[in-house]
Amino acid sequence: MTVQQTFATMGRSTVPLIAPAIVADLGLDPALVGVYVSIGAVAGFLTTMGCGGLIVRYGALRMTQVGMLALAVGLSVPAGGWLPLFALGAFVGGLGQAISTPSSSHLLGRLSPPRSAPLVFSIKQTGVPAGLMLAGVVTPLLATETGWKTALLVIAAACAVTAVALQPMRARFDTDRIAGHPLSPADIGANVASVWREPALRAMCLAMFSFVGLQSLFTGFFVLYLVRGLGYDLERAGLVFAVAVAVAVPGRIGWGWLASHLVRPATLLSLLGVGMALAAVFAALMDPAWPTWLAAVAASAFSITAVSWHGVLLAEVARLSPPGRIGSTTGAVLAFGDAGAFVLPLLFSAALTLTGGYATGFLIGGALALAIGLRGLWKMFSRA
């Protein structure tokens, strides 16, 4: 599950990370990157809303394979170089990539010891920074040396190979699937309504909206910010991004250990929300005169907070889910994350168009994370 999460994340982040090369080659407005990210988020929203029944019917491993193949197609299509193909690729790839987390949550929620679940989920979720780190190093290099179209096709091939490599494991891990499980659109609405009615799960939905939205700003715009806003070349920007995201690997494991042993998951998530806001301010203050190491510190602060919380939140969602409904509940909560990944990049693009700078967009995302963090801390202290 860590490996498939790595390549799913790598596939989803490829276009934003090589966006400077695509923008320069096709003469596009950089703000269109936000539109690409938002289209993928809409597709992810549709997937996470409706994937619960598919996972129960076909199995978590099978749906993971389907998702990886869809992501491969979504990356291959834009290589045609025609602008509408990017929209189509973003939608198809978003449909595929979004199945990764609900499927793995369904599987790990069934097999993980409850007390160790935050740590187990956090270890699995290290696939996100690992994928971002690989993408930050490999895709700019491929785009520079072979062209951005070849870079897309190479990462698409890696996603397809991942889908094939999972096949031998299916018989072992899809034993809980129910072949005749009905698929009904009405179940989707009922599932989301049941999640929203539960206060603890509703808090997870709001956190998911804000945190995923802010993360999408980091993964979708930070390299573009370094290149277009601060004057970095693409390979240097990719290296800064990769170094920063590497910090998220031990960060995720560390947060997972803390949530398993020392700090309540909800409290830790609230503190991380405040940390994300501070990191967003740090990023907004970056200056072209800063040395590369200081830019890497600012990026790492963003990474250790906004890219490192997932395992804690997903384990908490699994704990709060009704028996046998972990995949469905996770999908409903993740749908709010996809909504955040749709709204915040559009707000960022609007701020970029209106102001000509990147700082305002990061501050908008930081303000939402701060609101979530302070809300959680207020509830904690009011109960004390």
**Res 165: pLDDT:** 94
**What span, in angstroms and rounded, lies between the C-alpha atoms of 55 and 327?**
7
Cβ atoms < 10 Å from Cβ of 227: 22
**What span, in angstroms and rounded, lies between the C-alpha atoms of 345 and 299?**
18
Query: What CATH number does the domain containing 160 carry?
Result: 1.20.1250.20
**Res 68: pLDDT:** 94
Q: What is the pLDDT of residues 140-176, one digit of tens each?
A: 889 989 999 999 999 999 999 999 999 999 888 888 8
181 within some domain: no
Report, in angstroms and rounded to the nearest whole number, the Rg of the chain calculated over CA atoms: 19
**Res 36: pLDDT:** 87
Confidence of residue 45 (pLDDT cuts 50, 70, 90): confident
Residue 384, pLDDT above cutoff 60: no
**What span, in angstroms and rounded, lies between the C-alpha atoms of 250 and 118?**
14
293 within some domain: yes
The DSSP 8-state label assigned to residue 18 in this structure reads: T
**Lowest-confidence region among 44-48, 87-91, 286-290, 341-345:** 44-48
**What span, in angstroms and rounded, lies between the C-alpha atoms of 40 and 87?**
8
Residue 13, pLDDT above cutoff 90: no
176 within some domain: no
Provide DSSP, 172-188: HH-TT--TT----HHHH
The DSSP 8-state label assigned to residue 322 in this structure reads: P
Residue 82, pLDDT above cutoff 80: yes
Query: In which domain, by residue range, is 270 found?
Result: 2-170+187-383
Element holding 76 (H helix, E strand): helix 60-76
Cβ atoms < 10 Å from Cβ of 322: 11
Residue 369, pLDDT above cutoff 90: yes
179 within some domain: no
For the chain, what is the domain count? 1
**What span, in angstroms and rounded, lies between the C-alpha atoms of 298 and 283?**
6
**What span, in angstroms and rounded, lies between the C-alpha atoms of 239 and 223?**
10
28 within some domain: yes
- Of residues 53, 30, 33, 31, the one with CA closest to residue 41: 33
374 within some domain: yes
175 within some domain: no
- Of residues 377, 310, 248, the one with CA closest to residue 119: 310
Specify the pTM: 0.72
**What span, in angstroms and rounded, lies between the C-alpha atoms of 147 and 21?**
8
Confidence of residue 105 (pLDDT cuts 50, 70, 90): confident
**Res 183: pLDDT:** 67
191 within some domain: yes
